Amino acid sequence: MAESFDVIVIGAGPGGYVCAIRAAQLGMKVACVEKRGTLGGTCLNVGCIPSKALLQSSEHFEEAKHKLAEHGVNIGAVSLDLKKMLARKGEVVSSNVKGIEFLFKKNKVTWLKGEGRIAAPGKVEVNGTTYEAKNIVIATGSESIPLPGITVDEKRVVTSTGGLELEQVPGHLVVIGGGYIGLELGSVWRRLGSEVTVVEFLDRLVPSMDNEVGKAFERILGKQGMKFRLKTKVTGAKQDETGVTLTLEPAAGGKAEELRADVVLLAIGRRPYTEGLGLKQVGVALDERGRVVTDAHFATSVPGIFAIGDAIIGPMLAHKAEEEGVALAEMLAGQHGHVNYGAIPGVVYTWPEVASIGETEEQLKARGQAYKVGKFPFTANGRARAMGDTDGFVKILADKATDRVLGTHIIGPDAGTLIAEIAIAMEFGASAEDVARTCHAHPSLNEAVKEAALAVDGRPLHI
Ligand code: FAD
Ligand code: NAI
């Protein structure tokens, strides 16, 4: 007889593995199907974790080379051991993915190894064995979007996966797409010695970002040596023994030109991955962008089949997938799981970091919302000065009438950590005054957040 589960989750990324663990915590019998040899999905294996390991290592390299001397620390010639840096990244990934295996054992989640296919509602097939499930969760994630005319070989023309594995520092790295991946991995290789040119179709980097922050970001990355070709499209690529010749054209059309690269990183976005799941046969509806259509309770068009994470609508972020995994598990247990989509932070882990939550100034203007702005630069923050990291600022947007925080955008040292206090403030429906009246430790970077909140009401103390 087929083994039967309360929940079978397909995909063990941050959405799937977290959903499986939470469901098991709530007393359900749970299995999670994963076809990759290790758990953790894109994020732990070829995404968040390895990219952050390389960002950290390359930042240390750059500090040793260019920043420590200003602190009076002289260390002489600095050299790069790329092999060791990549091996360390591998170890970081390996310990993280093994950690998920441990958590599965601890919570009695069964890992069904192999590719899962929904044979029928309530039935999942893995390696020729059919399992029964009261509830099926699609958490199959996403894959990078291809660009017609560009063939990825993960050596000379790479996606983020190959871009985390380059065996040599490219002389010239051309990045197609000025978004999260392009700027993070572009930063890694620039710090390690590459000349980096980012070709972006639109007139700005990370288009979803608050414009003022986006402009500051472009200026700061430019100062670091990254080059930008905005409003430009790539129309072709010719690969040879030593590199790639790209054909570029203005986005609006016009005269073509060539750009030579040693390595090309293709990073123009990701799309949901649902191949081989059998969704069409069971009648699970997809939207025009290939995302699984769900209602507010993550239910698809077929009863008993749910979907979360990168495979559905919303920002393709690990913590968004995790929140959805928890919320869905709680709903399946008869509880009231909930995700507040208005308070999901987004962080670009360059240096300085860029973090944002809630609405941008452009979005507030577009919906006719009256708002107040409070800004505070890191040049006026004692801790940032002590660190020697004064690039950037905090910008808080609050409702003009009620003072409620509507959005916050930070470019600066540790912005990704600083944004958490605003996430909590927004969850509690705080006003800028609430943040301003909260005692912040001195000297800390968080004081810049407090000062920006004070500035919302025109009364910053240190500027
Ligand atoms: P995934 O993590 O993609 O996991 C899906 C899993 O399902 C995969 O392991 C896949 O093998 C498996 N699968 C698919 N189909 C089947 C099947 N039929 N049977 C069995 N298994 C299957 N997000 C952040 O929040 N912060 C970051 O710093 C960050 N950095 C990133 C860096 C890079 C280079 C990339 C590419 C992404 C990054 N992301 C980051 C995004 C993040 O990785 C995703 O948002 C997140 O992994 C989505 O989780 P998920 O569970 O929906 O899917
Ligand atoms: P992205 O959506 O962040 O950026 C893609 C960029 O490519 C956009 O600026 C877009 O305008 C541009 N573009 C699209 N088509 C183009 C073309 N033909 N030519 C030139 N430019 C073009 O996508 P990216 O960087 O691939 O990352 C995918 C997703 O992975 C992100 O959106 C994010 O959700 C997630 N991610 C998150 C990270 C984080 O949280 N720190 C880090 C890395 C990825």
Query: Residues 52-104: pLDDT tens digits?
Result: 999 999 999 999 999 999 999 999 999 999 999 999 999 999 999 999 999 99
Domain count, the chain: 3
Our answer on whether the CB atom of 180 is closer than 6 Å to any ligand 2 atom is yes
In this structure, the answer to whether residues 125 and 252 fall within a common structural domain is: no
Ligand 2 atom with the smallest distance to the CA of 346 is: 40
The response to whether 122 counts as a known ligand-binding position is no
Q: Say yes or no to pLDDT of 273 above 80.
A: yes
What is the reported pLDDT for 167?
A: 97
From 268, 284, 304, give the residue that closes a domain.
268
Q: How far apart are CA 82 and CA 67, in angstroms?
A: 20
* C-alpha dist (Å) from residue 248 to 181, 237, 255, 260: 20, 9, 9, 10
Identified catalytic residue from 66, 297, 442, 462: 442
The response to whether 254 counts as a known ligand-binding position is no
- Backbone φ and ψ for 312, nearest 5 degrees, come out as -120, 180
HSE-up of 175 (CA within 13 Å, CB side)?
30
From 321, 339, 357, give the residue that closes a domain.
339
CA angle 146, 150, 153 (to 5 degrees): 85
Ligand 2 atom with the smallest distance to the CA of 349 is: 41
In this structure, the answer to whether residues 423 and 300 fall within a common structural domain is: no
From 212, 241, 268, give the residue that closes a domain.
268
What is the reported pLDDT for 2?
A: 86
Distance 12 CA to ligand 1 centre (A): 8
Q: Which of 181, 183, 134 is nearest to 160 (CA)?
A: 181
Q: Is residue 148 part of a domain?
A: no
Judge if ipTM > 0.90.
Answer: yes
Q: Say yes or no to pLDDT of 51 above 90.
A: yes
Q: Is 442 a catalytic residue?
A: yes
CATH classification at residue 380: 3.30.390.30
In this structure, the answer to whether residues 285 and 210 fall within a common structural domain is: no
* C-alpha dist (Å) from residue 41 to 141, 299, 380, 425: 8, 22, 41, 31
Q: Residue 353 CA: which ligand is closest?
A: 2
CB neighbour list of residue 230: distance below 8 Å, 6 or more residues apart:
178, 200, 202, 203, 204, 205
Distance 458 CA to ligand 1 centre (A): 43
% of the chain at pLDDT higher than 70 = 100
Our answer on whether the CB atom of 184 is closer than 6 Å to any ligand 2 atom is yes
The response to whether 406 counts as a known ligand-binding position is no
Tell me if the pTM is above 0.90.
yes
What DSSP assignment string belongs to 424-447? HHHHTT-BHHHHHTS---TT-THH
Structural domain containing residue 451: 343-456
Q: Is residue 444 part of a domain?
A: yes
Average pLDDT of the segment spanning 292-309:
98
Our answer on whether the CB atom of 11 is closer than 6 Å to any ligand 1 atom is yes
Nearest CA to ligand 1 atom 7: 11
Q: Is residue 317 part of a domain?
A: yes
In this structure, the answer to whether residues 107 and 162 fall within a common structural domain is: no
Q: Give the E-state strand segments of 324-427 in sequence order.
A: 346-348, 353-358, 371-377, 393-399, 405-412
Nearest CA to ligand 1 atom 15: 140
pLDDT category, 316, cuts 50, 70, 90?
very high
In this structure, the answer to whether residues 106 and 253 fall within a common structural domain is: no
In this structure, the answer to whether residues 449 and 372 fall within a common structural domain is: yes
In this structure, the answer to whether residues 367 and 249 fall within a common structural domain is: no
Helix/strand/coil for 163: helix
Distance 284 CA to ligand 2 centre (A): 27
CATH classification at residue 254: 3.50.50.60
Q: Is residue 461 part of a domain?
A: no
Average pLDDT of the segment spanning 378-386:
98
* C-alpha dist (Å) from residue 236 to 194, 200, 231, 270: 22, 15, 16, 20
Q: Is residue 151 part of a domain?
A: no
In this structure, the answer to whether residues 262 and 282 fall within a common structural domain is: no
Nearest CA to ligand 1 atom 36: 47
The DSSP H or E segment spanning 117 is: strand 116-120
Q: Say yes or no to pLDDT of 41 above 80.
A: yes
Nearest CA to ligand 2 atom 38: 180
What is the reported pLDDT for 402?
A: 98
Ligand 2 atom with the smallest distance to the CA of 202 is: 11
What is the reported pLDDT for 376?
A: 98
pLDDT category, 342, cuts 50, 70, 90?
very high
What is the reported pLDDT for 278?
A: 97
Q: Is residue 463 part of a domain?
A: no
Q: Is residue 182 part of a domain?
A: yes
Distance 44 CA to ligand 1 centre (A): 8
In this structure, the answer to whether residues 177 and 229 fall within a common structural domain is: yes
Average pLDDT of the segment spanning 106-118:
98
The response to whether 390 counts as a known ligand-binding position is no
In this structure, the answer to whether residues 108 and 119 fall within a common structural domain is: yes
Ligand 2 atom with the smallest distance to the CA of 176 is: 20
In this structure, the answer to whether residues 243 and 277 fall within a common structural domain is: no
Average pLDDT of the segment spanning 200-211:
95
Q: Say yes or no to pLDDT of 1 above 80.
A: no
Q: Say yes or no to pLDDT of 244 above 90.
A: yes
Q: Is residue 262 part of a domain?
A: yes
The response to whether 200 counts as a known ligand-binding position is yes
Q: Residue 346 CA: which ligand is closest?
A: 2
In this structure, the answer to whether residues 171 and 253 fall within a common structural domain is: yes
Mean pLDDT computed over every residue of the chain = 97
